[in-house]
Structure 1
Amino acid sequence: MVAKIPRPEEDCIDVLNLVLGERVKFRKFYGRIAPDLSARYVLYDDQKGCPSGMPPLVLRDYVDSDAEATARKKSLIGLYDPEEDKYPYNELEKLRKKNKLLACPVCGEPGRPRTLDHCLPKTTYPEFAINLLNLVPACDWCQGEKLADYKNAAGSRSFIHPYFDDVNRPLYTIILEQPYLTPVISLEVRKDLPLELQVLVASHLEGIDFWERFKEYFESSYQSIIRIASLARTGGQVTVTKAIQSAYLLAADKGINCWDAVLYRSILDDDDVLDFLENGKLSDFP
């Protein structure tokens, strides 16, 4: 699933100042709001992107009419869609297409994410539309599931933040029940996590519709594990456990909570499943 990833290399406030320096239209508005935008970027970093105690800026305080406030909100959101020769086009493209990730840091699905998710949605927080710390590489599905959702009833984040949260550790386990050739599966958030993180992981999983997606993935992936077991038993060079351990180490290089790593680890933690793979009848394979 989710992974902690390095913060953007560029300084967020430096990028903001470069963007504002290019503004020709609405110069009066941007001149008024610039100091508070910088202060908000610092606050965002200090609060690790948590909206609690950080309500959106009231844009009416920086303009002369309600109509102008509405129009300037569109202007701020529009900064996220710059022309190729304007800031922050290159910075956004680097996060979006050159992130070097091998799995989505929001859900763990294999494959390089090609979109950016606003952790605090730009429709609610237009002041963070181009805050690089508010922009996380994500797969299309995660972005589509999250949409403008971002906080729980208490006003805190309802999603893990890949730049801030300490999540490079096993977060959840897949439980397999008999028949082990075609097992019934369920998900369990790990009990060895701090309670606050357990709650956040559960909220995050629900918010990205993780389980429905993973169940479909499991069906094909588990068949690959049966094949690994069958080949190991036929070849006799390594045990099934050693073969799965090797597969786990390769998968974990993509992220400790990428989907394959979670599946291999869950099997390695279950003696009954391992015993079946080592000694049971793998009827679909020689």
Structure 2
Amino acid sequence: MVTKIPKPDDDSIEILNLVLGERVKFKKFYGRITKDLTARYRQYDVQKGCPTGMPPLMLRNYVETDNEAIDRKKSLIGLYNPETDKYPFNELEKLRKKNKLLACPVCGELGRPRTLDHCLPKTTYPEFAIHLLNLVPACDWCQGEKLTDYKNAAGARSFLHPYYDEVNQALYTIRLQAPYLTPVISFEIRNNLPEELKELVASHLKGIDFWERFKEYFENSYQNIIHIASDTRAAGIITVTTAIQSAYSLEAGKGINSWDAVVYRSLLEDPAVMDFLERGVLSDFP
């Protein structure tokens, strides 16, 4: 994740109670599990979505047979796809369509995310299928890359959590190696991050295939910036540095790790690249 976002406005436990209160089918099962579900929702918040010491509920403890446990798992997962007049349809739609985000909080790609990612996958944790704190707006690509991955070898979260992790800071930088008209680019996580956060950022970015996605975007953006630098120098009104600083200020408002913000910040932090853009030969670009 590259942006911390506010938790959902709706209270997850209140929504859970409303959901279970209007379900008629399997009422006996829901009656048995409600207390433990509520406790588990609170535990999720306390542990900030970390699965350590929080294994999935054993649904067999709330039913009479193994087959019934399998069926009730499907029932819990099915709560995520309610009819339009049932809870939590409106609450889920609010997260999908009215999240007010300008970039995906999981990867930073520009554009409002329209899908929801289960931080702890509902196939493993069906009890969290409609836990609003477990549902994060995400772009389609992040959804497809992350799938059901969620923990590392130690059993802790392997992905950043947009509601909990303090990541509203620059997380990574793009490095350019001369020749700067067609540079070799590389990616590195910033050294000033706490070691634990660095490891989590690395795991997160690997899990969403970040670099392969971002690399092409950066290459195209950089070529456009060379055009902008050429035009800015020709106009002679402001410096290239001022133009890029202004662009960075605008893009950072969408998220300090949104893709364009990363592009502009990486350039501004590299004196050799900025000197090239201000004074280097850009004759290949009219």
TM-score range, shorter chain: over 0.9
Aligned residue for 1:65?
65
How far the C-alpha of 1:283 sits from its partner, in A, is 2.7
How far apart, in 2, do the equivalents of 1:282 and 1:110 lie?
Answer: 28
Residue 26 of structure 1 corresponds to 26
Query: What do residues 229-265 of structure 1 show as CA deviations (whole Å, max 9, x unaligned)?
Result: 1121011111111100000001101100000000100
Aligned pairs for 1:201-220 (under 5 A) are: 201-220=201-220
Aligned to 1:187: 187
Alignment partner of 1:17 is 2:17: yes
User: Where does 1:137-152 land on structure 2 (aligned, <5 Å)?
Assistant: 137-152=137-152
The separation in 2 between residues aligned to 1:181 and 1:252, in whole angstroms, is: 25
2:147 maps to a residue whose letter is L
Q: Distance in 2 between matches of 1:98 and 1:39?
A: 29
Q: Give the match's secondary structure for 1:151.
A: coil
CA distance in 1, matches of 2:283, 2:194: 42
Which consecutive residues of structure 1, in runs of 5 or more, have no partner in the other structure? none
1:130 aligns with 2:130: yes
Matches of residues 267-282 of structure 1 in structure 2 within 5 Å?
267-282=267-282
> C-alpha offsets along residues 97-133 of structure 1, whole Å, 9 cap, x if unaligned?
1111000000000011010000000000000000000
Residues 209-239 of structure 1 show CA distances to partners (whole Å, capped at 9, x for unaligned) of 0010001111211122112211210111111
* SS of corresponding position for 2:24: coil
2 CA distance for matches of 1:176 and 1:102? Answer: 27
Match of 1:103 in 2: 103
> Corresponding residue for 2:76?
76
Find the residue that maps to 1:185 and give its secondary structure.
Answer: strand
The equivalent of 1:225 in structure 2 is: 225
Tell whether the 8 Å contact from 1:151 to 1:159 is kept in structure 2 after alignment. Answer: yes
Q: Distance in 1 between matches of 2:114 and 2:156?
A: 27
Residue in 1 aligned with 2:172?
A: 172
Mapped partners of 2:175, 2:279: distance in 1:
20
CA distance in 2, matches of 1:205, 1:168: 16
Matched, 1:45 2:41: no
Percentage identity across paired residues of the two chains = 77
Aligned residue type for 2:225: I
**Matched residue of 1:181: which SS?**
coil
Give secondary structure in 2 for the equivalent of 1:34: helix
Aligned mates of 1:204, 1:179 — CA distance in 2? 31
Unaligned runs of 5+ in 2: none
Deviations 1:122-166 (A, max 9, x none): 000000000000000000000000000000000000000000000
Letter in structure 1 aligned against 2:105: P
CA distance in 2, matches of 1:169, 1:66: 48
8 Å contact kept, 1:3–1:256: yes
Partner SS state of residue 127, structure 2: helix
- Structure 2 partner of 1:265: 265
What residue identity is the alignment partner of 2:233?
A: R
Structure 1: how far apart are the matches of 2:86 and 2:262?
A: 41
Partner of 2:197: 197
Q: CA RMSD in A?
A: 0.7
Q: Structure 2: how far apart are the matches of 1:118 and 1:283?
A: 50
